[in-house]
Amino acid sequence: MSARAIRGRAGRPRLVLAALAAAVLVLGAPATAWGFWRATAPDVTAQLSAATVAAPSGISCTTVGGTLSRSAQVTWPAVAGAVAYRVTIANASGTTSAQQTVTSPTITITQGLLSDLLSGLITTLLGGNPLYVSVETVHSSGWISLTHTAGQPVSQTLLPVGVKCDT
Amino acid sequence: MRHVRIGVTVGALLALVVGVSGVHALWGRSETVPAGVTLTGDLAVSASWLGGSPVWAPLYPGSTTPDATLRVTGSGSGSTLGWRVQITSTVATQFAAYTTFQARECVTGTVIPAGGYPASGSLPAGAVVDVCVHYTLASNAPGTLQGQQVSPRISVVAQQVGG
């Protein structure tokens, strides 16, 4: 086979490619010329954020009751938009805890309530250790505050029996 | 039979060549008629808040911002220029799945279609379109989004549709 024949075979694909490229150029040029214009304005921005559900701003506690029993009445300021409050009662380390949802900004902590919520809570209390009461807000949108009020300590009282506020 | 096939093939090729030539002729003719103005003219669009940037209250799940008006003005040389306005919006990544954006032409209330407004026909050069926009936060938006910036960003495009 001569060198010229080899060149001829090798050149054939190039010829085909060149022809294809020419065809694309010829047919593509008018299409480009027909392309419609497009103008873009500088982006417009605005300030917008997701709301924040606030936790009650403070918490207070009053020991109530008579000569037979005592209980700790924990209250806090109402929060706008709140439909409920989630109260958490826990031991100091937080390893034992229970939650109670109330619709008014107050809850009365009694030994009976603690027993009903979680046996570990009453055990902690009767063991002489304090419990801590904290509150989160449940908003009408369904969101719950990401923060909660600082825990209000309550502890056991023996005479009369019950629960009292620790200042 | 072979001649017939050859004839059909040649005919098809001729038809193709004539068709392509027709396209070229149409394109070439557009340079000589007034449409040539658009070939040397321009198209621009501007957008800004009407009455200043909106002051939107923070969104709770399921709530929607009040409408804010975006004034869009298209300009370009050539009295035959036609265009449509396209509006899209992006928000911060964490809000993308929980935020919806709506843009409507303020006078008619027509939602701006993805293909642009008006859906048929076009706006003339210099047309002003007031677009009412708002955002809605989905009712299932997670509470972890509380307090975060939605960072809305609106893109306005003028798409030429005639000229």
Q: What CATH number belongs to B39-162?
A: 2.60.40
Decide: helix, strand or coil at residue A99.
strand
Among A135, A147, A154, A158, which Cα is nearest to A84's? Answer: A135
Q: Is residue A49 one of the residues assigned to a domain?
A: no
pLDDT at B94 > cutoff 70: yes
Q: Is residue A11 one of the residues assigned to a domain?
A: no
Residue of B nearest to A38 (CA): B159
- Nearest Cα of chain B lies from the Cα of A117 at a distance, in angstroms, of 26
Look up the CATH number of the domain holding residue A116. 2.60.40.10
- The residue ranking higher by pLDDT, B28 or B67, is B67
Q: Closest partner residue to A41 among B23, B55, B156, by Cβ?
A: B156
Decide: helix, strand or coil at residue A141.
coil
Where do we find the tokens 């068709």? B19
Contact A50 B148 (CB under 8 A): yes
Rg (CA), chain A: 38
In angstroms, the CA B59 to CA B136 distance is 8
Contact B156 A144 (CB under 8 A): no
Report pLDDT digits (tens) over B98-107. Answer: 999 999 999 9
Report for A146-150, B15-19, B21-25, B34-38: range of highest mean pLDDT: A146-150
Tens of pLDDT, residue by residue, chain A (167 residues): 444 444 445 555 665 555 555 444 444 444 444 567 889 999 999 999 999 999 999 999 999 998 889 999 999 999 999 999 999 999 999 999 999 999 999 999 999 999 999 999 999 999 999 999 999 999 999 999 998 888 999 999 888 899 999 97
pLDDT of residue A6: 45
H/E run at residue A50: none
Contact B152 A146 (CB under 8 A): no
Q: Closest partner residue to A44 among B49, B57, B159, by Cβ?
A: B49
By the CB < 8 Å criterion, does A14 face chain B? no
pLDDT of residue A14: 60
Among A92, A95, A89, A93, which Cα is nearest to A59's? Answer: A89
> Residue A104 belongs to what domain range?
60-165
Contact A30 B48 (CB under 8 A): no
Q: Is residue A38 one of the residues assigned to a domain?
A: no
Q: What residues form DSSP beta bridges with A152?
A: A133
Q: Which residues of B touch A22 (CB under 8 A)?
A: none
ipTM: 0.72
Q: Closest partner residue to A30 among B23, B139, B154, by Cβ?
A: B23
pLDDT at B12 > cutoff 60: no
Q: Is residue A65 one of the residues assigned to a domain?
A: yes
The DSSP secondary structure of chain B, one letter per residue, reads -HHHHHHHHHHHHHHHHHHHHHHHHHHHHTTTSTTHHHHHS-EEEEEEETTSS-BPPPBPTT-BPPPEEEEEEEEES-TT-EEEEEEEEE--GGGTTTEEEEEEETTT--B--TT-BSSSS-EETT-EEEEEEEEEE-TT--GGGTT-B---EEEEEEEEEE-
In angstroms, the CA A106 to CA B5 distance is 96
Total count of domains within chain A: 1
